[in-house]
Chains A and B, each alone.
Chain A
Amino acid sequence: MPKEITVDPNIVRQRSTVSFAEIPVNAYATPFSEERARRGDAALTEVLRHMLIIREFESMLGSFKATGAYAGIPFNYKGPAHLSIGQEGAAVGAALALEPEDHIFGSHRSHGEFIAKGLSAIARLEAPALRAIMAGHQDGGLLRAVETHLGGDGKVLAENFLLFGLLSEIFMRANGFNGGMGGSMHAFFPPFGAYPNNAIVGASGGIATGAALRRKLSGAKGITVANSGDGSTGCGPVWEAMNFASMAQFETLWGEKHGGLPVLFFFNNNFYAMGGQTIGETMGWDRLSRIGAAINPASMHAETVDGSNPLAVADAVARKRALLLEGKGPALLDVECYRISGHSTTDASVYRSREEMQLWEPHDPIVLFQSQLLAEGILTDESLAAMRAQVVAQVTAVTAAAVNPEAAPIVDVRADPTLIGKLMFSHHEIPVPATPAPLLAAPETSARIRQNAKKARFGLSETGEKLSSMRAITLRDGLFEAVLHHMTQDPSLIAYGEECREWGGAFGVYRGLSEILPYDRLFNSPISEAAIVATAVGYALEGGRSLVELMYGDFIGRAGDEIFNQMAKWHAMSAGALKVPVVLRCSVGSKYGAQHSQDWSSLVAHIPGLKVIYPATPYDAKGLLASALSSDDPVVFFESQRLYDTVEPFRTEGVPTEYYRIPIGEPDIKRAGSDLTILTIGPSLYSAMAAADELQANYGISAEIIDARTLVPFNYDTVLESVKKTGRLLLVSEASERGSFAMTLSSNITRFAYGDLKAAPRVLGSPNWIVPGAEMESTYFPQVDDILDAVTSDFFPEKRVNRRGVRDWNDLDLARLAL
């Protein structure tokens, strides 16, 4: 909605046609003699050797899965093996054109890409740099194992380091590249430019796009590659990522920072998405490259490339890389390469004919390339046989070491049962940011800030009357102040989401920031929740910090994989090597009915790896958002739309103007009492407060109210102390009761405080049906009367009067009815 871009009806309504740039198919035509003159015989021989290493390495995995042994070495490998036999030309060709500083992100079928990138980096890195990388990993632990059990000098040692680190990781051993937490489908080693591979089809698209955004903004050299397969073009998040990477604003609105993202979407097109045939069966495109034309006027510089020829791939990647470095990204390559092996080792190839597989045998990249080297006299039969023997010997030695527990010790979970748990979070916070970021204007010039400066910091007047949201700092203002500090003092932090700039976010939390912050720090994203979260993760994995907004928490479903499998997992799956400082803000709606009013905090709290915060007061909102933005761990931050205009009702000294943090994970007593503990999540705090007043006034019951503030982590001490005193516990939340976080709290507290309880705790949540529209909402979210009913019926039956709320139902009957 930038005003500088006009939608002109005089242009829009003209008759015209949309034209498309032509997309080359197999354009490579460089004579081999030219390649030979340019690259030299030794480099071309290395291309073959690298393909042979990948082939042998993957054949070894296939052999373990099929026969339980390789080269006479017995081993029961229990994990997956998604092999890329036949696709080596694509992997090695791409790596030939990439520099060590270029970063690849991969798929579940990425052993080949990983090995090729590692070998390419090893070939290019100087000996001291290589040594420093190896010695710096795991405090030199992996290197010592390689030196002891495999040996080798210089580049040979480094290759053994690469192959052993990968195989140890595939075997989930402690000195694997990722401490055994990644395994076959997720292995990576950033110092060689190999970033996470991903078991979710196409998930690297968005992550690599965010990584490229970080590269662009930090001025880092090189490009980012999103490796995926042809099947991933059926995945919505891949389209979202390509569109996000192509946003016109990078050119039209980003001023000095203009230019496209340096990201190459590299599709290893092996014609089959597991068993579904992409061309002719499951896709509409005839050539995958065609989809580039759908994305932007440059058709993403798309090309279809012959993946059977590594030199054709290298040529295409080198040309796209040059375009990306000129700021003309993104780019797309459709690299056709036939997978000779099955999708996995259980694949019987029932979906393709033997004739088809035989047709491709002469097009095997290794067969083709070695024939060429022999024909040109670069290799002889003897030197080729020697090279093949050397590769087999190398892979055999690496394998023998990797199955040896002395060289590759197991991850000893029995010795330390919470070992994996300790890898879930860093629990690290950055110091208070104090690096002034470049701004468009001084913060004092913002009308919002001047408006806030006139407001009272406490929400009640001297006579105890509640002040309006125009006259006192609100929860929305508290959030704004935390964001303002971090955005102006931490240049590595960027904020975006749908209508985050001029609109200030769907509910105006950022209102006024667009006057201060340039586009590259605060921008509007497309309606692409998956890409919003995935790019935030990629941006963070590359050293940045991201603050992203989903208009409604109900849209979490649109970013399910990105939140549950990406944001939540990469810290643990890297054994703590990668940090994911992402804050995902989600508003919880109201009055908009079934798809816009759900409290899904329980859903994300269920997923290991996410910290979950849901504040209810301006003071808590400001302090907890400051902590979230300082956290090196991913945080999902919920905000109730009903509370945005809430003024501070508890802290008489008001919301501090200065910066402060509130520790994540500490519930807070909002009202002291002695007969009953009410633990609330989110806006239920206010219903409970009103109920407590009435309980005291009309029933003589003294309720202690504790605001959870945070769901994950959660320090139970405050609640257990309270229950020790009161002996009774009511939990109130607006989430549907079944499987809710309040149920988890109730169950745990029952166990932890069993001896102190006078009655079973009671959870009062929303019923297990849709959120109705505004007129009926009070029949859905727990109200004051519902709390009074629950307290008097469950804990003080002698004081029960007439039922006042609507929850006059039998929970056992409802459960039988799936409710």
Chain B
Amino acid sequence: MNIPLLMPQLGNETTEAELTEWLKAVGDPVREGEQILIVTTTKLSMEIEAPATGVLKDIVVPEGDIAEIGATLAIIATE
């Protein structure tokens, strides 16, 4: 099953954030709650956790790009 990793709401007025660093590569196993991505708004940096345990199947938004709140950033494949 494919679980999307979405850009979370990062504050009342934030509409988009930059993907600063992917902490995992495609193909890496990830655990639910594990920090896999750092995103940065104009005000703060935040670590984003994996929503499910599985394998990082696809990175949709590459490092350095800006994505809107709610955008799909990656796909995690579960068993």
- Hey, what's the 0/1 contact readout for A507-542 against B, CB within 8 Å counting as 1? 110010000000000000000000000000000000
Contact A508 B44 (CB under 8 A): yes
Q: Inside 8 A of B17's CB, which chain A residues have their CB? A: 470
Question: Distance (Å) between the CB of A774 and the closest chain B CB?
Answer: 9
Question: Distance (Å) between the CB of B36 and the closest chain A CB?
Answer: 16
Q: Which of the listed residues B13, B17, B43 has the most CB atoms from chain A within 10 Å of its own CB?
A: B43
| In the bound complex, CA of A454 to CA of B63 (Å) | 13
> Between A and B, how many residue pairs show CB distances below 8 Å?
40
Q: Select from chain A the residue with minimum beta-carbon distance to B20.
A: A447
Is A468 among interface residues, defined by CB-CB distance under 8 A? Answer: yes
- Hey, what's the 0/1 contact readout for B15-52 against A, CB within 8 Å counting as 1? 11110110000000000000000101111110000000
Contact B20 A470 (CB under 8 A): no
Contact B40 A645 (CB under 8 A): no
- A window 629-658: CB within 8 A of B: 644-645
Is A767 among interface residues, defined by CB-CB distance under 8 A? Answer: no
| In the bound complex, CA of A470 to CA of B67 (Å) | 10
Is A344 among interface residues, defined by CB-CB distance under 8 A? Answer: no
Given contacts A447-B20, A451-B18, is CB(A471)–CB(B66) below 8 Å?
Answer: yes
Is B62 among interface residues, defined by CB-CB distance under 8 A? Answer: no
Is B64 among interface residues, defined by CB-CB distance under 8 A? Answer: yes
Q: Inside 8 A of A448's CB, which chain B residues have their CB? A: 40
| In the bound complex, CA of A748 to CA of B35 (Å) | 59
- A window 468-511: CB within 8 A of B: 468-471, 474, 476-477, 503-504, 507-508, 511
Q: Select from chain A the residue with minimum beta-carbon distance to B21.
A: A447
Given contacts A447-B20, A447-B21, is CB(A470)–CB(B64) below 8 Å?
Answer: no
Question: Distance (Å) between the CB of B46 and the closest chain A CB?
Answer: 11
Contact A474 B42 (CB under 8 A): yes
Q: Inside 8 A of A504's CB, which chain B residues have their CB? A: 43-44
- Hey, what's the 0/1 contact readout for A350-376 against B, CB within 8 Å counting as 1? 000000000000000000000000000
Main secondary structure of the interface of B (DSSP, over half): strand
Q: Inside 8 A of A503's CB, which chain B residues have their CB? A: 44
**How many residues belonging to B are interface residues under a CB distance threshold of 8 Å?**
16
Contact B45 A511 (CB under 8 A): yes
Contact of B66 among A447, A470, A476 (CB under 8 A): A470
Given contacts A447-B20, A447-B21, is CB(A470)–CB(B42) below 8 Å?
Answer: yes
Contact A476 B44 (CB under 8 A): no
Given contacts A469-B42, A471-B66, A507-B43, is CB(A451)–CB(B16) below 8 Å?
Answer: no
Size band of the A side of the interface? 10 to 19
Contact A476 B42 (CB under 8 A): yes
Contact B43 A644 (CB under 8 A): yes
Q: Inside 8 A of B38's CB, which chain A residues have their CB? A: 447
Main secondary structure of the interface of A (DSSP, over half): loop
Given contacts A451-B20, A470-B17, is CB(A508)–CB(B43) below 8 Å?
Answer: yes
| In the bound complex, CA of A645 to CA of B13 (Å) | 10
Given contacts A454-B64, A511-B45, is CB(A447)–CB(B40) below 8 Å?
Answer: yes
Contact A508 B42 (CB under 8 A): yes
- B window 51-74: CB within 8 A of A: 64, 66
Question: Distance (Å) between the CB of A507 and the closest chain B CB?
Answer: 6
Contact of B18 among A470, A474, A511, A645 (CB under 8 A): A470
Question: Distance (Å) between the CB of B15 and the closest chain A CB?
Answer: 7
Given contacts A470-B66, A511-B45, is CB(A451)–CB(B15) below 8 Å?
Answer: no
Q: Inside 8 A of A451's CB, which chain B residues have their CB? A: 18, 20, 40
Q: Inside 8 A of A454's CB, which chain B residues have their CB? A: 64
| In the bound complex, CA of A645 to CA of B44 (Å) | 12
Question: Distance (Å) between the CB of B74 and the closest chain A CB?
Answer: 19
| In the bound complex, CA of A448 to CA of B42 (Å) | 9
Given contacts A447-B20, A451-B20, is CB(A468)–CB(B15) below 8 Å?
Answer: yes
| In the bound complex, CA of A469 to CA of B44 (Å) | 13
Question: Distance (Å) between the CB of A759 and the closest chain B CB?
Answer: 39
Q: Select from chain A the residue with minimum beta-carbon distance to B17.
A: A470
| In the bound complex, CA of A471 to CA of B66 (Å) | 8
Contact B42 A644 (CB under 8 A): yes
Contact A468 B16 (CB under 8 A): yes
Contact of B43 among A447, A468, A471, A476 (CB under 8 A): A476
Q: Inside 8 A of B64's CB, which chain A residues have their CB? A: 454
Question: Distance (Å) between the CB of A761 and the closest chain B CB?
Answer: 35
| In the bound complex, CA of A471 to CA of B67 (Å) | 11
Question: Distance (Å) between the CB of A389 and the closest chain B CB?
Answer: 72
Q: Which of the listed residues B15, B16, B17, B45 has the most CB atoms from chain A within 10 Å of its own CB?
A: B45
Question: Distance (Å) between the CB of A363 and the closest chain B CB?
Answer: 61
Question: Distance (Å) between the CB of A590 and the closest chain B CB?
Answer: 11
Question: Distance (Å) between the CB of A445 and the closest chain B CB?
Answer: 12
Q: Inside 8 A of B15's CB, which chain A residues have their CB? A: 468
| In the bound complex, CA of A476 to CA of B14 (Å) | 14
Question: Distance (Å) between the CB of B77 and the closest chain A CB?
Answer: 29
| In the bound complex, CA of A401 to CA of B22 (Å) | 78
Q: Inside 8 A of A644's CB, which chain B residues have their CB? A: 42-43
Given contacts A447-B21, A454-B64, A470-B18, is CB(A645)–CB(B42) below 8 Å?
Answer: yes
Q: Inside 8 A of A507's CB, which chain B residues have their CB? A: 43
Q: Select from chain B the residue with minimum beta-carbon distance to A504.
A: B44
Q: Inside 8 A of A468's CB, which chain B residues have their CB? A: 15-16, 66
Question: Distance (Å) between the CB of B28 and the closest chain A CB?
Answer: 21
Q: Inside 8 A of A469's CB, which chain B residues have their CB? A: 42
| In the bound complex, CA of A477 to CA of B40 (Å) | 14
Q: Inside 8 A of A474's CB, which chain B residues have their CB? A: 42
Question: Distance (Å) between the CB of A269 and the closest chain B CB?
Answer: 47
Q: Select from chain B the residue with minimum beta-carbon distance to A591.
A: B12
Question: Distance (Å) between the CB of A265 and the closest chain B CB?
Answer: 37
| In the bound complex, CA of A470 to CA of B21 (Å) | 16
Q: Select from chain A the residue with minimum beta-carbon distance to B42.
A: A469
Question: Distance (Å) between the CB of B50 and the closest chain A CB?
Answer: 20
| In the bound complex, CA of A503 to CA of B45 (Å) | 9
Q: Select from chain A the residue with minimum beta-carbon distance to B38.
A: A447
Q: Inside 8 A of B21's CB, which chain A residues have their CB? A: 447
Question: Distance (Å) between the CB of B7 and the closest chain A CB?
Answer: 12
| In the bound complex, CA of A468 to CA of B13 (Å) | 12
Q: Select from chain B the residue with minimum beta-carbon distance to A475.
A: B42
Question: Distance (Å) between the CB of B14 and the closest chain A CB?
Answer: 9
Q: Inside 8 A of A645's CB, which chain B residues have their CB? A: 13, 42
| In the bound complex, CA of A25 to CA of B64 (Å) | 64
Q: Select from chain B the residue with minimum beta-carbon distance to A506.
A: B43
Q: Inside 8 A of B16's CB, which chain A residues have their CB? A: 468, 470
Please give the residue numbers on chain A whose beta carbons come within 8 Å of chain B beta carbons, in ascending order: 447-448, 451, 454, 468-471, 474, 476-477, 503-504, 507-508, 511, 644-645
Beyond A454-B64, A511-B45: 11 further Cβ-contacts under 8 Å?
A: A448-B40, A451-B40, A470-B41, A476-B42, A476-B43, A504-B43, A504-B44, A507-B43, A508-B42, A511-B40, A644-B42
Q: Which 7 A-B pairs have the closest CB atoms?
A: A508-B43, A469-B42, A470-B66, A447-B20, A470-B16, A508-B44, A645-B42
List 6 A-B pairs, Cβ < 8 Å. A448-B40, A451-B40, A468-B16, A469-B42, A470-B66, A508-B42
